[in-house]
Structure 1
């Protein structure tokens, strides 16, 4: 009798854990009066395009009370790592430049030419044997991210998939690898040239 009770309790616990594990990625957002797809994407750290795709929306219009399924975004750890990279890499650059640096990392994750995760892209070693990003090489990536860089990451996540497809950025006054200058320039922000 006791073993049957233990077995039943174990089955119930397993079923509960199974249910929780498979529903954790789905979040529902009820549209409020001042919400836009942009603000919803910023709040949840996901792209506008992903929200539209998840909800079969062809426009950016939302209505008060509408229920939107929010797709799973990046982990808090990935978001923090990306913010630390942006903070170190784009220190002293305009806000738009910080967003663009974060966007380069996200574009690399989505490109077949680069690794498939934020962490792998950030810590990737170049063909010369050095880390691809200077803050990884000099250790400044380990310093806390500033508030503006954290906001820039949220904006880059919301904007994902809508930019120029930049995969690289460099400061022409500091770059030692002249190969980067052969890439197509997508935009110039502050001291950085962005390219693909």
Structure 2
């Protein structure tokens, strides 16, 4: 009896996981939707939505079904949001989005690890790439704003200026980081390639 009950519960769990996964794989366009809003909702890039659906105009038709591309896992989103929270606390919202974008750009760049966790925890010459990993701030919960910034960075993925680094000019001591081409300045951070 116990084995039957465990099997039943496991079957229900798998069924509910499958249903959730399938529900996220397509979306029916509603009134007021834009590719940007759909990208934000599902944490996928607008560019990926367009490519997967062969939809290169900004016009959507109500009732159309879009296939939603795969996205990063919930644990990766949480880790990235915690990094954004720690690195960009006190920074404007655009700065939070830009910090998340740097991590995603690194994942997409062959010079860096190809997943979020390895990019965030990367260590080179004995130094962590991100200070919050070293000082433990990465372990603090993310704010709603940091989580939203991650969703926006995911929707924005592939459309920015290719920032791979950022630093605070008031505290950075590395001549190398200051020699990188600047892509944008937001709040107290300078973003570079």
Indicate whether the TM-score tops 0.5.
Answer: yes
Mapping for residues 44-123 of structure 1, pairs under 5 Å = 44-123=42-121
Partner of 2:191: 194
Partner of 1:179: 176
Unaligned 5+ segments in structure 2 are 1-10
Q: Give the TM-score, by structure 1 length.
A: 0.87
Mapping for residues 150-165 of structure 1, pairs under 5 Å = 150-165=147-162
1:25–1:72 CA contact under 8 A, matched in 2: no
Does the alignment pair 1:29 with 2:27? Answer: yes
Larger of the two Rg values belongs to structure: 1
Query: What is the rounded CA distance, in whole Å, between the counterparts of 2:71 and 2:57 in structure 1?
Result: 21
Query: What is the rounded CA distance, in whole Å, between the counterparts of 1:174 and 1:147 in structure 2?
Result: 27
Mapping for residues 112-151 of structure 1, pairs under 5 Å = 112-127=110-125, 129-151=126-148
Q: Give the TM-score, by structure 2 length.
A: 0.88
Does the alignment pair 1:166 with 2:193? Answer: no
1:31–1:68 CA contact under 8 A, matched in 2: yes
Query: What is the rounded CA distance, in whole Å, between the counterparts of 2:143 and 2:59 in structure 1?
Result: 33
Residue-pair matches, total: 178
Matched residue SS, 1:186: strand
Over the aligned positions, Cα root-mean-square deviation in angstroms equals 1.8
Structure 1 runs, 4 residues or longer, greater than 2 Å off: 23-26
Q: CA deviation at 1:60?
A: 2.0
Q: CA deviation at 1:89?
A: 0.3
Unaligned 5+ segments in structure 1 are 1-12
Q: CA deviation at 1:101?
A: 0.2
Matched residue SS, 1:53: helix
Query: What is the rounded CA distance, in whole Å, between the counterparts of 1:60 and 1:139 in structure 2?
Result: 42
